[in-house]
Amino acid sequence: MFWIFWDAYCFAGFFTQIIYILTPCAFIIQLWNGVLKEERVSIFGLLCMYSNAFVYFWTSVYKVPKGKDVDPLDFCNLAGFYLGFIYLSIYIYFIHFKNNKTRGIYCYAGLIVISVAVWLITKFTVEPGNVWDKIFNWLGVVFNVCEYFPLGFSILYLLRNRISEKYTLFGAFFGMLNTVTWEIWAIHAQSTGGDLIHSIVANILGICLQITQFVLFFVFRRDDPEDNKSVGERPDDIDFEIEKQKQNEPEYMHEFI
């Protein structure tokens, strides 16, 4: 055994997963300081990260045979859904609750009610190898893939405005590291008798998403008329541009957006 894990593949997967689920902290700090604008923010990637960790952790808990311990590798999913809940709570506060308390309360209540409902379903249905186990495995694949969309940023906004946002590469880099590591782990586990087809598929798709983010960044950066500056360095905000022209200010941003 490798430390408390079965082998080095398991340890590497755990380590890179923990790093990846900590990357939203960088965006939370920007949001907390008011430098992320609402139209650029999205909780989609964070919601999928939380859902993926939530589903996989509880299904792994309830399909463990009696008398056996939970695989230590599953504790990265435990960390994922705890931190994911915190991230979502902060985003809901700043995007909804802060401006509309009623809508914010609905969002908080919806998140909690749905989470409890899914937990109850897994508790009373999932058994090793049964049909519910397979359903949740493939449901987890959907969330597992979608958690590799930009964490904290709206990819639709980036695509619609053809923006090369360099800060999205922060998540994409660690996401690529994580997906490649887990793909190696899944292939190794499959070759030694495991049933990890769903994980192999999920990580292949996740790798494709990370590559797409890198490609989009460099394509949009190449097409950027503002000397190839990223959105965090150029004044694409219309109101800012008008004010700048009036005051003849130099071209720089006073805030990261």
* Sign, Cα dihedral of 183, 184, 187, 188: negative
Please state, in angstroms and as integers, the Cα–Cα distance from residue 47 to each residue in 142, 190, 211, following that order: 12, 28, 21
In a domain, 169, yes or no: yes
In a domain, 255, yes or no: no
In a domain, 28, yes or no: yes
Domain extent for 41: 8-247
In a domain, 38, yes or no: yes
Model pTM score: 0.79
In a domain, 63, yes or no: yes
Distance of CA 82 to the CA centre of its chain: 13
In a domain, 257, yes or no: no
Interhelix angle 8-22/168-191, nearest 10 degrees: 160
Number of domains in the chain: 1
In a domain, 3, yes or no: no
Pick the closest to residue 212 from 255, 158, 132, 134 (CA basis): 158
- Written as tens digits, the pLDDT of the chain (257 aa) is 555 667 788 888 889 999 999 998 888 887 788 777 777 788 899 999 999 999 988 988 887 766 666 677 778 888 998 999 999 998 888 888 878 889 899 999 999 999 999 999 999 998 887 888 888 888 888 999 999 998 878 888 888 888 777 777 888 999 999 999 999 999 988 888 777 888 899 999 999 999 998 988 888 886 655 544 444 444 444 344 434 444 444 443 333 33
Enumerate residues 6+ apart whose C-beta is below 8 A from 13: 73, 76, 181, 182, 185
